[in-house]
Structure 1
Amino acid sequence: TVQVIPHITNEIKGVIQKLDAPGVDVVITEIGGTVGDIESQPFLEAIRQFSLDVGEENCLYIHLTLVPYLKAAGELKTKPTQHSVGQLREIGIQPDILICRTERSLSRDDRAKIALFCNVKLDAVIEEKDKDFSIYEVPLSLVDNQLDELIVRKLNLPAGKLQLDTWRDLLHRLRNPEHEISIAVVGKYAEHRDAYKSIYESLDHAGMANRAQIRIQRIQSELVEREGPERLLSGYDGVLVPGGFGERGIEGKIEAIRFAREREIPFFGICLGMQCAVIEFGRHVIGLSGAHSTEFDKDSAHPVICLLDEQRQITQKGGTMRLGAHPARLAAGSRAAQAYDADKIEERHRHRYEFNNVYRQQYSAHGMEAVGTSPEGSLVEIVELNDHPWFVAVQFHPEFKSKPTKSHPLFAAFVSAAIERHALRGERAKEAETPQV
């Protein structure tokens, strides 16, 4: 019989323990959710036990909590924090440090009250006030509140010199952009702000790398179907179509891609975005009437996107996708190879359908090249257009490897192309305004 304790909790601890390796000083583990929720209980129990396994001196608990401000009363309320910590203590976890998220500054009395009722030292009650400018200000704010010193002291670690120059430079770039561009993200779930969170963050990273402020416009693909791309997409410096599942909104994505291709607007397609780019090109450039993916049309006359070979006999779909990191090789001289400055890469995947190799030669003859493939060449990973300023689509998810201090190469190249597009539009606008002699 599988039991929560010890079977599930041991598995959770095992995952954390696997990270212990030569050269690793500290393992940071985030337990999401809310204290008291059923879903969190096995994880909280596992980290409670972890302190016993490794010793209290080798384990530090930091609890992030909310201190809300009630406008009607004109005061901060510490009760939610007290109750949250109380529930943690009931299951045997005593937080060492409290990070209190708040929209108003905590007074010394507020911090003293929290320290008293939550059984933590006063200097371990850290205020984290909401940032007006950027979430990337938070690490510097935590340093200002000596979080790093508290951690080093509790874990008895040698205190080295804090290296924050790279992070400060990142914030400087963010505050002092040299360019301003607009990018349209056309997706099925665009109405939800967090639906493509990793995409938006990766664009921000690329903006910082290029010293550009990016105005991101979320556009529902179904809206493109109804109103057309001309009205919705004109004036943008780049178009990005992210991944997704399901047939709803597919034709809108295809129309958005067609618009970007024909108007020479920098385009970046990711996962399903690449598949839609292949479908669009097949229909409108090669002339493959009815070209589609067998995911949406099993009887398509031209199934340019089809199931992976290893997926064809699978009827139970749960947990059977091509998942995780896979290597790929890049064609020399391609935009992708230039962006990566490499001929071999490794990227993360989550898909079941692929480019149909039966059509690869036809696509190449018309200008869409498979410039990235699996090492043996059987799976298409990246396609590009030869006669377009920047049209790149990938089967993988580059957004999962982007970092604030190291933008993903493809996102950085896409934003760079959008900056060039914006500058070109500006030059043309000036020429149009210049009176003819």
Structure 2
Amino acid sequence: ENAFYIEAMRELAYEEGPGSCSFVALTYILEPKTLGEQKSKAAQLGIKQLLQLGIQPDIIACRCENPVTEQARQKMSVFGNVPFERVFSMHDSASIYSIPAMLRDCGIDFEVLRMLKIEDRTKLRHERKEWARWCDFTDKIDKETHEITIGITGKYTSVRDSYASILNALEHAGIHLGCKVDIKWIDTTEITDANAADHLAAVDGIIVPGGFGTRGWEGKISCVRYARENDVPYLGLCLGFQAAVIEFARNVCGIKKADSTEIIADCTEPAISILPEQKKIEGLGGNMRLGGREIELKKDTLAWKLFGKTSSVRRRFRHRYEVDPEYIQKLEDKGLVFSGKAPNQPIMQILELPGLSFFMGTQSHPELTSRPMRPAPMFVALTAAAAKRKHPDKKMDTPLTAAEKVAKF
């Protein structure tokens, strides 16, 4: 089924000419425990099939549980027609972030530069400086000084890859803060106001992530209420932003029937709905707000400070429903702060509640732009707030201080 993709790569390499691309074949070296040695025959056959399709690998990456032996690599070199120094072991590692060091130790980085004839573009002084920064980051792995538990409340908790980006963003933040982040998966389908405490009492912070549909919706709102009333650090993402708006509208503003038209199409108090101008949009993507968009930040708010006191920030979006403009003033009058909005439009994109240790929501997906060297500020702030809550007897940074320190890394 991937034949079309492989043929497209072959044609691309042919059209661009020699030295324009580099093919890396990823294969698996078997190591049956009953035999006690590594077997490369299956991997050789896989490379042979690739050659038959017109692709000559430049590099062969050998996956295995343990370091691939020189003998197995030599066989792969001969049968794959690849120089021995370009056949390397990519065995299991304690952390994915140690893989770059593994590649560097094998010299694969400079092999790629030579193959593509771009050595002269490399600024070695800058490269060494960036490598030193990367090593500073990886040196912090497994050096945590404290531990927290974050509850991820959703309805896809049985398929945890659904929240892979959130897990990565928490990991990035935790490594920088010297904090081990444990995850408690909480299915919101059965959660109510009455039993929310039973499910959430053991967590130090709460994330309500994105999602679609009605299942688990009321449970998410109950989780938001628990976080707000018990000052548990909270981060709402996309649908989690909308759940925070509905919870605040119902329980603080007294709009008891507040809801989203995604959940109840004919609800009488649509605090979350599709804007009139969106209903007119047709074509690719329909009325969804997709991709990178600017967020205008309100001065002196937590969001403004977290993002370096800049007037705007660009983030990625994937949603359809918004805060109905008719309810914005009602919500703000009761203390909810919309600290980020779309430029020149009444589309609210970040909210926060001053007075709590950390309570923020955003219609965007900051987890998608978190990177090991640049953790998402909101995730750093959530992690720091959760650590401060978990360890009140220790001198811990505030969410804002932690975000500022990480930004200078």
Greater mean deviation of Cα atoms: 215-224 or 188-197: 215-224
Amino acid at match of 2:353: L
Q: Is the 8 A contact 2:221 2:247 kept in 1?
A: yes
Q: CA deviation at 1:219?
A: 1.5
- Inter-partner Cα distance in structure 1 for 2:191 and 2:46: 45
Match of 1:25? none
**Of 148, 151, 171, which residue of structure 2 is paired with 1:181?**
148
Match of 1:421? 389
Match of 1:24? none
3-state DSSP of counterpart to 1:60: coil
Q: Does 2:88 match 1:121?
A: no
- Inter-partner Cα distance in structure 2 for 1:281 and 1:356: 14
Match of 1:59? 21
- Inter-partner Cα distance in structure 1 for 2:240 and 2:9: 40
Match of 2:363? 395
Q: CA deviation at 1:291?
A: 1.1
Q: Is the 8 A contact 1:367 1:387 kept in 2?
A: no
Percent identity between matched residues is 36
Match of 2:403? none
- Inter-partner Cα distance in structure 1 for 2:285 and 2:376: 30
Q: CA deviation at 1:223?
A: 4.1
Amino acid at match of 1:153: R
RMSD: 2.0
Q: Is the 8 A contact 2:246 2:259 kept in 1?
A: yes
Match of 2:206? 239
- Inter-partner Cα distance in structure 1 for 2:154 and 2:133: 33
Q: Is the 8 A contact 2:279 2:287 kept in 1?
A: no
Match of 1:218? 185
Q: Is the 8 A contact 2:338 2:350 kept in 1?
A: yes
- Inter-partner Cα distance in structure 1 for 2:229 and 2:360: 14
Q: Is the 8 A contact 2:64 2:91 kept in 1?
A: yes
Greater mean deviation of Cα atoms: 150-159 or 282-291: 150-159
Q: CA deviation at 1:319?
A: 4.9
3-state DSSP of counterpart to 1:215: strand
Q: Is the 8 A contact 1:230 1:259 kept in 2?
A: yes
Q: Does 2:229 match 1:276?
A: no
3-state DSSP of counterpart to 2:160: coil
Amino acid at match of 1:348: R
Q: CA deviation at 1:355?
A: 0.6
Q: CA deviation at 1:106?
A: 1.4
Q: CA deviation at 1:86?
A: 2.1
Length-normalised TM-score, structure 2: 0.90
Q: CA deviation at 1:387?
A: 2.6
- Inter-partner Cα distance in structure 1 for 2:213 and 2:150: 24
Amino acid at match of 2:140: R
Q: Deviations over 1:310-339 (max 9, x none)?
A: 332468896541101111111111111111
- Inter-partner Cα distance in structure 2 for 1:234 and 1:80: 51
Q: Deviations over 1:156-212 (max 9, x none)?
A: 232653421111111122222233211111111112221100001001111122221
Q: Does 2:267 match 1:300?
A: yes
Amino acid at match of 2:8: A
5 Å-filtered alignment, 1:307-386, equals 307-313=274-280, 319-341=286-308, 342-386=310-354
Q: Deviations over 1:50-99 (max 9, x none)?
A: 22222212221112222232223333332332232222212211111011
Q: CA deviation at 1:266?
A: 0.6
- Inter-partner Cα distance in structure 2 for 1:73 and 1:249: 49
Q: CA deviation at 1:305?
A: 0.3
Match of 1:154? 115
139 and 393 in structure 1: CA distance in 2 versus 1, 3 angstrom threshold: same
Q: Does 2:195 match 1:228?
A: yes
5 Å-filtered alignment, 1:245-264, equals 245-264=212-231
Amino acid at match of 1:124: R
265 and 88 in structure 1: CA distance in 2 versus 1, 3 angstrom threshold: same
Match of 2:96? 135
Unpaired segments ≥5 residues, structure 1: 1-37, 428-437
Unpaired segments ≥5 residues, structure 2: 396-409
Q: Is the 8 A contact 1:271 1:397 kept in 2?
A: yes
- Inter-partner Cα distance in structure 1 for 2:195 and 2:4: 49
Q: CA deviation at 1:117?
A: 1.7
Match of 1:45? 7
- Inter-partner Cα distance in structure 2 for 1:309 and 1:81: 57
Q: Does 2:35 match 1:73?
A: yes
3-state DSSP of counterpart to 2:185: strand
- Inter-partner Cα distance in structure 2 for 1:45 and 1:123: 27
Q: CA deviation at 1:274?
A: 0.4
- Inter-partner Cα distance in structure 2 for 1:337 and 1:226: 32
- Inter-partner Cα distance in structure 2 for 1:156 and 1:315: 47
Q: Is the 8 A contact 2:358 2:382 kept in 1?
A: yes
Q: Does 2:373 match 1:405?
A: yes
Count of matched residue pairs: 388
